[in-house]
Amino acid sequence: MGHLHHNYGPEARNAVEREAMLPTTMHEREIARGLEYGLPGADSIVDRSIPTFSRGELPHFAGINTFLKAPYVEDVRKCGEFDVAILGAPFDGGTTYRSGTRFGPQGIRKISALYGPYSFELGVDLRESITMCDLGDIFTIPANIEKTFDQISKGVSHVYGSGAFPVILGGDHSIGYPTVRGIAEHHSGNIGIIHFDRHVDTQETDLDERMHTTPWFHATDIPNVPAKNLVQIGIGGWQAPRPGVKVGRERGTTIMTVTDCVEMGIDRAAERALEVAWDGAEAVWLSFDVDCLDAAFVPGTGWPEPGGFLPREVLKFIQLIADARPLAGIEVVECSPPYDNADITSLIATRVICDTLGCLVRAGHLPKKKGAA
């Protein structure tokens, strides 16, 4: 690396220095694979790394929509061969107002093509650090929430048990219960939950059923998912039903409002969230509802609420959580493309996932050590 001038900001200087140390092995392998499978480009193409058929990252607007253009693995029995497995849970049968989250996995995958695998600020190239695959979607049952829950639990359990890190593209937030249930069966010790949301989602029923307002009541009924390890970040506004607040108070969950987090500082708020979630737990699940952000940034969601987080606040929070300790997995929920504007809600969902993975890699939490679940 040549001499760097002194006009960089501290973060930018660190980013430039880190980039020089990143390998390009997998990128070169991707180019070779593209030329083999997609045929060398036409004779008029000067750049001989360009194939005839698009294979790999470029062009961003071409190709089949998997998450970050990760390889689609049709045989889900092979997911354990990868460090990270992405799977969709296209379900909005738990929605109590604006639907459309069944299209969330499609929307997130589509806009994820805008991204490459390298983050400047984080100094991480996912392509060079981990292997990822996209398993497609769980077969959800639109008219039956309980059968859908069983499908999701089985799918998540399979991926987690394989050793791959699960990334779930929701779907409404009712899926929080079956995803945690799928993880919990692999542990004898306790599971903690870090939950970003504007809504508590802790009431027992809504409209006489288990809905997207109820996942954490039922998740914390699982014997090894105690309510004391549920920390909820960003709760507030005019859409937090009192029955759910009552349950949280009685069960001893922890709530941190947006004002709490901003006034104490995101660094301290993240420390407290980690302390609560990891207290006596052997694994922690990250559940991210996009509506924790201010409604201006997430028009494509079912219950938008003004006064939420700014994107930079949420991203810093997520980075601190992923840097600190390994996570069991992540779900991103309540992204509703039919209500979205210019894909910005799907984009923040993509960014949260990428930053989580990038920080897990940077901190040495991914790839997992062989045999660790």
Binding residues, by number, are: 173, 197, 199, 201, 289, 291
Q: Extract the tokens encoding 108.
A: 């997130």
* C-alpha span between 224 and 229 (Å, rounded): 10
* C-alpha span between 206 and 343 (Å, rounded): 30
* C-alpha span between 312 and 317 (Å, rounded): 9
Which residues does 173 contact at the CB level (< 8 Å), separation at least 6? 94, 197, 201, 212, 213, 215, 287, 289, 333, 334
Q: Extract the tokens encoding 136.
A: 């497609």
By C-alpha distance, which of 231, 201, 228 is closest to 291? 201
By C-alpha distance, which of 123, 25, 116 is closest to 69? 116
- Binding-site residues for Mn(2+) sit at 173, 197, 199, 201, 289, 291
Q: How many CA atoms lie within 13 A of 210 on its CB side?
A: 17
Which residues does 330 contact at the CB level (< 8 Å), separation at least 6? 166, 167, 168, 285, 286, 287, 288, 352, 353, 356
